[in-house]
Structures are given as structure tokens and as C-alpha cells.
Amino acid sequence: MSHETMECDLLVIGSGMAGLSAAGWAAERGARVVVVEKASTRGGSAVLSGGVLWTATSASKMSMYGCGDPKLGDVVLDTYPQALAWIRSRGIQVSPAMNVLHGRGYAVDLIHHLDDCIQMVEKAGGYIVYETTTETLLKDDAGKVIGARTVCADGTVDVIATNTILATGGYQGSPELRAQNIHGNARNLLLRSNPVSQGDGIRLGTEAGGVFNKNNKGFYGHLVTKSRNWGEERYYTGLSQYHSDHSLLFNEQGFRYCDETEGDHTNTYRTVFESNARAILLWDKRIQETYATAHVVLSAPPLDKYKVAIENGGEGVHTTDIVELERFATAHGFDGAQLVRSLAEYQEGSTNGWENLNPPRRESAIPLDGEYYALVVYPAITFTFGGLMIDTDARVLKDDGSVLPGLLAAGSDAGGAYGTGYAGGLAMAMTFGITAAQTAGWK
């Protein structure tokens, strides 16, 4: 096995949205970039997304819905126009503006963007290497990170770089880290993203002296139904119950446990902390016709979420009989009698006492119409929010709050922009990728 050394201006570890955006930005400005990717292909979890580059429309909305560090949230907001302008300047297809959850954005040709970034790296004399792991970061005698030791089938290569960016995509692919950092129930979360993001960037950063944000247990994901074929990418969207923010959720004890209107991504997070990390999702004919059969993303056809769930092994019932609903809940290990009582309390409160609902319904409180759709749902994780502590320049911080020289982090390896909320994953990854590249000297 050989042991070689190579030099570059910028080393990027990870080839997802954050990593390739950083690499492409720097390469376009003349940097010789090396991108090291653990998987056999580029894109990370980004290539499994709907390709919508969106975020909150103001600092107040970012604070309300992102629930993270306001200063890091401001980086997303302030850099977003620059990111979008860069995409447009390269001739990448961008849709008309659209409303997305509590923000606005555009559907972009994500594959074109990622592949164009690779072409810019190679044109500037850099490399993208796949199926290569990063063993450790390298530091000089003064404590500055000066690159990394990488390992592939042909041997070991020490990549010496002026700056190094960690962008490996978070730790959602590691059951052990999920249990350690989110909750014991998170060990068994279904994974709806790439399987190779297992905390490598966080490990590398902490071993080099960076600090992991242990207080941020947040993640992005969706509530899904059981499937005989979970793991096939087509089910990541098909079995996700995006309409949970219009519906009701009940835990095994038969009680509502969250403000469902905060969003399906937040409902997913809340469900992890309930008994056995599961719930019954309940909605009516109005919601079925308006939301549960609607387009999720422009690139995908509308789906009847209840029908698709049942056809693929989901546990559900469609009934106008409240007794049948109770029996269904009881048969699946829920307190059916309490669920019916909780439903009755909601029906009364939504009509005559919305202000006293507990948990509240901040966005809407409309009684269900009596034609019920119910599914047992489980949280599935896409990417994590807790990562290495960084400043607004994407520089990794040490325990005393000082900067760890030579090391930056972007995307899910950088923790703090979002907390328990969410304001756009692609936007967060791209804006911090650009910020990291700029901090590395490539304005």
C-alpha cells in the first residue's frame, strides 16, 4: 500500500450540497480544490431531495420557525440572494418563485448545479475522489489544521491544504450517535436519506479540538408509515405524511402531544420523544381531498397518501364509525378509549374554546367532519441539526470559544442554524458552503 502526499488550496470532505457548493465557488475563483467523498458517487442527501432552494422570508420568521442561533440563521438569510444569483449566472434552470411552508423559494436543477461544481473543480486543476475515507485531520506544531490523511483502495494520501472544510452531511446514518445525541428512541429511526452520513465530520472536528453542539437535538425528517420495502428511495416521499400539520396526532396513551400546525418536520421531531416513537395520525375528508392527495413537490405527481400507505403495508383505517376508530387504535396498542375522548375534547375546543386547547393549535383549529382517515406513523430522519460549533464565518470553534485555525464546517456538520424547527435544508447547506469558501479566501 502506498503513502503519498499532495497539496491543494482547499480540501473539502464531502460532496453533497454544502461540499460541492463550497468547492465550485472556490474553484471558479481559481482555487485548486480536492474533494474527498466516502460514497461511490456525488450528491449526498441532496440528490434525494425535491430540489427546492427555499428559506424563511425574514429574521423574525427564521427565529420563529428555524428555532436556532439567530446569528447563524442570519447567515442563511443574508447569503441566500448571493447563492441564487450564482446559480442563475451559470445558466442553471430556476422555476418561478413559490411559497414553501413558512418561506419562499425556487425549484432548481440541482443535478446540473452539482455536476457544474464538479466541472469547475476539475477545470481549475482539482480532483473529486470517491470511495475514500478520511482517517484524521492533520495539524502543524502551532495547532493549525493543514489537511487530512485519506485512505482509499490504493493506499493512503496525505492531502495538505491551506484550509479544510468538513461537509460530510451530519450523523443521521449512525443509530448509535442518534441514540446518544437525540434520544434513546432515535436509535431505531427509519432513514430517508443517504446512509453514509455517519458523523465522520463531527468525529474529525472534535478529534482536532472542535466542539460538538450537544444541546441541539434537532433534525429534519417526516412522519412515515410502515412499509414492506422501506429503503427504496421512491418511498421516502411516497410514504411521508406531509399533511400532518393539518391533522391530529395521538400518542400511545391516546393524548395529543404537540401543536401539529408547527409543521410535519416538527411533528416528526416531537414524536421521537413519545412512547415507542409512534403515533396515530388522524384526518378527515376535507383534509384528504385538499392536502393528503396534493402535490408535494412540483417534480412529483400527486399521490393519495392514505392509499399508497395501505398498499405498501401501512396500518390504517378509513371509517365514519367512531367505534371502529377506537377498535383500530386499541388493536394496534394505543389507548383507543382515551383517543376518542381526546378527539371529542378537540372537537368541542376547536368550535367553542380554541384558546384553551392543550396542546394549542397556533395556525388553525378546525373540527374534523366525521369521515376519518387514520394511520399509524413513525418518525423518519433525513439530516441532523446538531454539529460542530461554528461562528458566522463557518470557522470551527474550540471549547474556549476561540477559532480552530484552518478548519471550517458547512451543512449538517455545522450545528446551530436550526434548532427544533426548519427553514430549508438546501439553502442552509449552500449558504454555509459559500460562506466557508469565502472565509477560506475565495471571495
Task: Supply the pTM of this predicted model.
Answer: 0.95
**Residue 124's CATH number:** 3.50.50.60
What is the pLDDT, as a whole number, of residue 342? 99
Residue 155, number of CB atoms within 10 A of its CB: 11
Say what percent of the chain tops pLDDT 70: 99
Say whether pLDDT at 85 is over 80: yes
Q: For residue 181, what is the enclosing H or E element?
A: helix 175-181
Q: Is the link from the previous residue into 175 a cis peptide, with omega within 30 of 0?
A: no
What is the pLDDT, as a whole number, of residue 297? 65
**Beta pairing partners, 3:** 156
Say whether pLDDT at 426 is over 70: yes
* CA 340 – CA 338 distance, rounded (Å): 5
pLDDT digits (tens, 9 = 90+) for 103-128: 999 999 999 999 999 999 999 999 99
For 280, the domain range is 220-381
DSSP 8-state symbol, 96: P
Same domain, 103 and 187: yes
Same domain, 9 and 134: yes
Same domain, 14 and 36: yes
Tell me what the pLDDT averaged over the chain comes to. Answer: 96
* Mean pLDDT value across residues 75-91: 98
What is the pLDDT, as a whole number, of residue 45? 92
Same domain, 225 and 204: no
- Give residue 140's pLDDT band: very low, low, confident or very high (50, 70, 90): very high
* CA distances from residue 306 to 112, 168, 302 in whole angstroms, order as listed: 34, 35, 12
* CA 56 – CA 320 distance, rounded (Å): 39
At 184, give phi and psi (nearest 5°): -55, -35
What is the pLDDT, as a whole number, of residue 298? 61
Buried b (16+ CB within 10 A) or exposed e, 187-220: eebbbbbbebbbbbbbbbbeebbbbbbeebbbbb
194, 200, 201, 207 alpha-carbon torsion, rounded to 10°: 170
Same domain, 38 and 177: yes
Asked which of 331, 358, 381 is the last residue of a domain, the reply is 381
Same domain, 77 and 121: yes
Same domain, 37 and 151: yes
What is the pLDDT, as a whole number, of residue 65? 87
pLDDT digits (tens, 9 = 90+) for 215-250: 999 999 999 999 988 878 878 889 999 999 999 999
Question: Could you give the number of structural domains in the chain?
Answer: 2
- Give residue 2's pLDDT band: very low, low, confident or very high (50, 70, 90): confident
* CA 251 – CA 279 distance, rounded (Å): 5
Higher pLDDT: 85 or 301? It is 85
DSSP 8-state symbol, 42: S
Q: For residue 262, what is the enclosing H or E element?
A: none
Same domain, 71 and 25: yes
155 Rama class: left (phi>0) / alpha (psi -120 to 50) / beta: left
What is the pLDDT, as a whole number, of residue 300? 67
Say whether pLDDT at 296 is over 90: no
Same domain, 51 and 163: yes
* Mean pLDDT value across residues 28-41: 98
